[in-house]
Amino acid sequence: MSSSVDAAWRSHRAYLVNLAYQMLGDIGEAEDVAQEAFLRLSRTSEVEDVRAWLTVVAGRLCLDQMRSARARHERPDESGTLDVTPSREADPADRITLDDEVRTALLEVLRRLSPGERVAFVLHDVFQMPFEEIAETVGRPIGTCRQLARRARAKFADASPRASDVTDVEHRIVTEKFITACSNGDLQALTAVLDPTVWGMATFVSGEPPQINHGRDAVAPNLLRFLGHGATLVAGPAGEVLGFTDGRLAVVLVLTVRGDRITKIEATVDPSAAIRG
């Protein structure tokens, strides 16, 4: 791997895996798409905007994969529910369950979109890509891409009152910085995105006592000790961060964001799947 591709890998791999995961909903497939995109980058010269180039390539790969799956008559499991409105105010003990219900519902909507609708929606509404570039990725006119995104957005609005959470730009930007910093083991970048008074709590599904840390000087190193040893992080549709190890979900992190800083991190951890440093 050349030095330029190696630098691009460090800078953009976490972003690319996250992008592919939003479209495919499968962490293994998302990692494969990112790997293939960087392989193609290594065979290409004179790329002016590497991140944009990788985004287009990954988008096309995801689109091809979704179209191929439909051509093979593969259908996702339709057993999830779309009715996720709680009947009472959420108790803190129920929070992870309710967030998981919302995430499942939004994934169900994503899976019901056509390949073109899903790519147009994710690239534009989640990653803020202009429709001119989306048209190049999807291979359709700009007006058609606008219509694809509009139809996808309408399906989200009809399915869940919280679907707008997916397009919260401020939360998305902070979450992306958080994912990149953790993925690269960058303590300075991670500390910069945390509020000085941030506190984090980890709850273990195995029943171990919860761990609580206060202040970014304690929270940031602890996060990197846990997440900086091989975990693959992506953003879930409801704004949470999902951490996978060897394709298995190891941790769900719910971030509370105010402005451009994270003020609270609530993690649910499966120690049997987690990688420890």
Predicted pLDDT of residue 150: 87
Find the farthest-apart pair of alpha carbons in the chain and give their distance in angstroms, rounded: 57
What's the pLDDT band for 125 if we cut at 50, 70, 90? confident
Q: Evaluate whether 234 touches 30 at the Cβ level (below 8 Å).
A: yes
Chain segment 142-163, per-residue pLDDT in tens: 999 899 888 888 877 766 544 4
Query: Whole-prediction pTM value?
Result: 0.70
164 phi/psi in degrees, rounded to 5 = -65, -20
Chain segment 80-101, per-residue pLDDT in tens: 322 333 333 433 333 334 344 4
Predicted pLDDT of residue 102: 44
Whole-angstrom distance, CA of residue 234 vs CA of residue 30: 10
Instruction: Please name the residues in contact with 235: beta carbons below 8 A apart, sequence gap of 6 or more.
Output: 18, 21, 22, 172, 175, 176, 179, 241, 242
257 phi/psi in degrees, rounded to 5 = -115, 130
The answer to whether residue 115 scores a pLDDT higher than 90 is no
DSSP secondary structure, 91-144, as one string:
PGGGHHHHHHHHHHHHHHHHHHS-HHHHHHHIIIIIT---HHHHHHHHTS-HHH
Greater confidence, 89 or 194? Answer: 194
Predicted pLDDT of residue 228: 66
Chain segment 236-259, per-residue pLDDT in tens: 866 789 999 888 888 889 999 998
The answer to whether residue 216 scores a pLDDT higher than 90 is yes
Distance of CA 128 to the CA centre of its chain: 14
> For 168-176, what is the mean pLDDT?
83
> For 173-190, what is the mean pLDDT?
92
Chain segment 184-193, per-residue pLDDT in tens: 899 999 999 9
